[in-house]
């Protein structure tokens, strides 16, 4: 039979100064690793929270940018609306058709300048060669002294916006034998 006391003594580590020092060193190393892990976890959580806050801030800025993107457009357009309202008031009291026509022409010039300033341009049509990229032929006429494919009348203006087609011009073109 085995001696229980002898078995117990074999499993125990003798308490010496050297063993205690080794155990303390190992304990400190493990504790430092745990502290380091906690620091990494804390830094990760902080960085994640900062990232989420930045993402939310960017989303809000993006939403606000889209919401107010047309603010300058509206501000630039208000003088045109003011002119139209003034002309309506004067038309009701007008006795001179020529003065009314001049007022409408001035408003038209304001609108054309405004559109040009924001990048909208009217597509050239009359006496131009038909271009299917910018024109839509809705009628043809046979005019002997004009070259086939020449635009002779604009039925509805077309526009580009910064070079991109917004709407093709509806036109009447020359077609011989038709």
Specify if 132 maps to a domain.
Answer: yes
For residue 45, tell me if it sits in a domain: yes
Which residue is it, tokens 């976890």?
Answer: 41
Q: Looking at the domain assignment, is residue 96 inside a domain?
A: no
160: phi then psi, degrees, rounded to nearest 5: -115, 155
Instruction: Tell me the three state secondary structure of residue 19.
Output: helix
Q: Which domain holds residue 61?
A: 16-68
Any bridge partners for residue 153, and if so which? 172
Residue 153: inside a domain: yes
Helices (H), the chain: 4-11, 17-68, 71-93, 97-117
pLDDT, residue 1, reads 47
Within-domain flag for 9: no
pLDDT value of position 5: 52
pLDDT at 23: 81
Q: Which of 153, 101, 109, 114 is closest to 130 using CA atoms?
A: 153
- DSSP single-letter state for residue 162: T
Work out how many domains the chain is built from and give that number: 2
Inside any domain, residue 98? no
Residue 130 located in a structural domain: yes
Is residue 44 a part of any domain in this protein? yes
Tell me the pLDDT of the chain (178 aa) as tens digits. 455 555 555 555 556 888 788 888 888 888 888 878 777 888 888 889 999 999 999 999 999 888 888 888 888 889 989 888 888 887 888 777 888 888 889 999 999 999 999 999 999 999 999 999 999 999 999 999 999 999 999 999 999 999 999 999 999 999 987 5
Instruction: Name residue 135's beta-bridge partners.
Output: 169
Last residue of a domain, one of 68, 84, 101: 68
Give the residue among 163, 160, 168 at the shortest CA–CA distance from 134.
168
Indicate the residue among 68, 84, 106 that finishes a domain: 68
The CATH number covering residue 149 comes to 2.30.22.10
């Amino acid at each position: 039979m085995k001696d229980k006391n002898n078995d117990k003594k074999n499993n125990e580590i003798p308490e010496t100064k050297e063993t205690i020092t080794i155990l303390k060193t190992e304990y400190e190393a493990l504790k430092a690793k745990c502290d380091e892990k906690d620091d990494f976890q804390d830094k990760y959580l902080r960085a994640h929270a900062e990232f989420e806050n930045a993402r939310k801030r960017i989303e809000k800025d993006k939403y606000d940018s889209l919401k107010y993107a047309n603010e300058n457009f509206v501000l630039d357009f208000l003088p045109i609306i003011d002119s139209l309202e003034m002309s309506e008031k004067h038309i009701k009291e007008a006795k001179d058709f020529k003065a009314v026509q001049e007022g409408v022409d001035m408003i038209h010039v304001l609108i054309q300048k405004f559109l040009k300033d924001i990048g909208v341009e009217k597509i050239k049509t009359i006496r131009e060669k038909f271009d299917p990229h910018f024109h839509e032929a809705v009628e043809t006429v046979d005019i002997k002294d004009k070259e086939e494919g020449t635009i002779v009348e604009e039925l509805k203006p077309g526009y580009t916006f910064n070079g991109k087609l917004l709407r093709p011009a509806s036109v009447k073109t020359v077609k011989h034998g038709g």
